[in-house]
Amino acid sequence: MSTVEKQLEDVRATIDEEVPRHITVSEVTYEGPELVIYTRDPKAFADGDLVRRLASKLRKRITVRADPDVLTRPEQAEEQIRELLPDDAGVSDIQFLRDTGEVLVEAENPGQVIGRGGETLQEITRTVGWSPEVRRTPPIESPTVSNVRRFLTQERDDRRDILERVGRQIHRDPMSDEEWVRVSTLGGCHETGRSAFVVSTADTRVLVDCGDKPGDRTEQPYLDVPEAIGSGATSLDAVVLTHAHLDHSALVPMLFERGYDGPVYCTEPTRDLLALLTLDHADRTDPPYGTEMVREAVKHCITLEYGDVTDIAPDVKLTLHDAGHALGSSVVHFHIGDGLYNVAFSGDIRYDSTRLFDGAVNEFPRVETLVLESTYGGRNDYQTDQDDAERKLRNLLQGAADRDGTVFLPVHAASRAQELLLVLEEAMREGDVPELPVYLDGMIWEATALHTTYPDYLKRGVRDRVRDREDNPFLADQFTPVESGDDREAIAARDEGSVVLAPPHMLTDGPSREWLAHLAPDADTTIVFPDHQAQGTLGERVQRGANEVRVDGETVPVEARVETVDGFSGHADRQGLENFVKTMHPRPDKVLCVHGESSPTQDLSSSLYHDYNLRTFSPENLETFRFV
């Protein structure tokens, strides 16, 4: 008998002791980090606090599912479920998954399906036996959300096999008595992009992020070293994704191309954005993977909510916290061993709140080492106050309206675009600027649909408006998706004031380059950069004042005005990064400054050392730090 089988046998014995004799437990298994109990009496488990007592006793997350042969017939169950739910729940779809005993309820108002303290969910199980899973109906139709949900439903059997295998890996016995912790830098050091780090213990290897480098897609993280997949991709126990921007996620599907078959931990919106962005990346570039590997990556995603403490290996617990940078972005916290050591990775953070998101979380039970982004870590990297940035943007919009010109904003499709849409919607609704058509190109409309699908990840005021169909700011009449290249040419030729948002934000490829070619020669155009432009990118050259640039083999004169309005960045500036560390509780002993060019990372590292008496480092790629 394997150690996991023995462990499950002991768990089963504890469950049998706690569960009343009239309740039948037919199977106990691990599925990912959860313990799953299959029973012929699901209605009995829904009564009282039995599951809560078992979770406390076993110190595990528990899911209860019904044996298929005791479930109410789907036709009858659907009728009963609809009778239990109020009309304002807005139920749009109900699907039954007999193999797992789950019923998927999609509704406009999931809170009405869940009920206070989950009481409506419990009532559904008591009535029909099925275990309900609730999903939000997107206010804006999203092909990405629909396709991901359909795909994961179709792949339910494979998913269960994957989760059972992962569960056994998580709950295996430790293979070594040694105790040590290392962090290896595989990318993202003295550079912006290709973020990749490995956290190693005597038993476990976890890869944090796997991105590419904006402006040079040929530069990949150093994955072939022994600490990563040099000894085989199966040597990795897990991948943890801070967020879905391509400089952190683009090469996750490549891991599956190279033989990785383990879990990818992230938030639910990060999973969906990963699908959207990497599929688009695979279509527009020549990445080392095909679309099938994107589906593999999505199939292996295990989604977590902020604050959930989750076992991902015998000696590693993972918790995700809001990073304030993008939809579903996370500060990643690892608790290693039995209180041995704690490491946090900031990913990309915004410490101050914005219109769209609350600021990054920086309170943890323990943190000895912080791996901190340094994009704006330079001594002079102070961003414009957001109120001042919004005032400047409104002035630029007014100027465009006065001369029938275009304001062109190259932006991240996900989160920066939505931040700006909130500013534009309010400015036009309140009459601060004339109403102008706002054209949304590339993936911006689809990314906006994703933001409306997950309002719980947004700031409270925005969250409430998104839930109100009559007041949803992203459904403003001025917002118009751009359908094709022909539309771009026609819109650029119009003699009217307008606003264009297009990704990517550094003009590295995609629709923003085409817009640049159309609009840069026009002196009535204003090009506005609201976010960081990495060295060597086309965006940086334009931002620095180039008189002409090469776009897809053609020389394009730059007659347009060029402005930077950096208060909209999703990154903390120098003061925000220092404040994140200064107010961090507890304050770490060591800080590794990464994800920034050489000067900013060194400046920030030096400042944190002198001002806060911390041991700080500005590592190069391919360095390893041992902490215990």
Beta strands at 196-201 and 205-208: parallel, antiparallel or unpaired: antiparallel
pLDDT in tens, 454-493: 999 999 999 999 998 889 999 999 999 998 888 999 999 9
Q: What is the pLDDT of residues 281-305, one digit of tens each?
A: 888 778 889 999 999 999 999 999 9
- Is the bond preceding residue 588 a cis peptide, omega within 30 degrees? no
Cβ 500 vs Cβ 516: under 8 Å = no
Please answer whether residues 261 and 166 qualify as being in contact, where contact means their C-beta atoms are separated by less than 8 angstroms: no
Cis bond leading into 504, ω under 30°? yes
- Residue 283 confidence (pLDDT): 83
Query: Which pLDDT score, from 0 to 100, does residue 70 have?
Result: 86
| Residue 10, CA distances (Å) to 104, 200, 362 in order | 32, 29, 38
For residue 218, what pLDDT is reported? 78
Evaluate if residue 235 carries a pLDDT over 80.
Answer: yes
- Band (pLDDT 50/70/90 cuts) for residue 309 is very high
| Residue 383 pLDDT grade (very low, low, confident, very high; cuts 50, 70, 90) | confident
Tokens of 556: 């394009």
Q: What percent of the chain has pLDDT over 90?
A: 79
CB 224 within 8 A of CB 348: no
CATH architecture classification, 386-568: 3-Layer(aba) Sandwich (3.40)
Domain spanning 3-69: CATH 3.30.300.230: yes
Structure token digits, residue 315: 């000696």
**230 token code pair:** 């040099």
Look up the CATH superfamily of 173-380+571-626.
Ribonuclease Z/Hydroxyacylglutathione hydrolase-like (3.60.15.10)
In whole angstroms, give the CA distance from residue 192 to residue 327. Answer: 20
| pLDDT exceeds 70 at position 14 | yes
3-69 against 173-380+571-626: fold identical: no
Length of the chain: 628
Average pLDDT over the chain reads 93
pLDDT in tens, 584-618: 999 999 999 999 999 999 999 999 999 999 999 99
CA–CA separation, 510 vs 528, rounded Å?
A: 17
Tell me how crowded residue 87 is: count the other CB atoms within 10 A of its CB.
Answer: 8
Segment 67-76, tens digit of pLDDT = 888 889 999 9
Tens of pLDDT, residue by residue over 395-427, are 999 999 999 999 999 998 999 999 999 999 999
Reported as a single tens digit per residue, the pLDDT across 524-554 is: 999 999 888 888 899 999 999 999 999 988 9
Of the pLDDT bands very low, low, confident and very high (cuts 50, 70, 90), residue 1 is: low
The domain ranges of the chain are 3-69, 72-151, 173-380+571-626, 386-568
% of the chain surpassing 70 pLDDT:
100
- In this structure, are residues 207 and 252 in contact, taking their beta carbons and an 8 Å threshold? no
Q: How far is CA 360 from CA 87, 213, 312, 348, 569, in A?
A: 37, 24, 23, 9, 14
Q: Which two tokens stand for residue 65?
A: 């599912």
According to the model, what pLDDT value does residue 453 have?
Answer: 95
Is the confidence at residue 78, as pLDDT, over 80?
yes
Looking at the domain covering 72-151, what would its CATH class be?
alpha beta
Q: Which one is predicted more confidently, 118 or 615?
A: 615
- The predicted-structure confidence for 175-232, as pLDDT tens digits, reads as follows 888 999 999 999 999 999 999 999 999 999 999 999 999 877 778 999 999 989 877 7
CB 252 within 8 Å of CB 241: yes
What 522-525 contacts at long range (C-beta under 8 Å, 24+ apart), as own/partner pairs, is 522/405, 522/406, 522/492, 522/559, 522/560, 523/559, 523/560, 523/561, 524/400, 524/403, 524/404, 524/405, 524/406, 524/560, 525/405, 525/406, 525/407, 525/408, 525/559, 525/560, 525/561
pLDDT at 323: 98
- Average confidence (pLDDT) over 492-506: 92
| Cα(430)–Cα(486) distance, integer angstroms | 33
Average of per-residue pLDDT across 131-154? 93
Residue 98's pLDDT is: 85
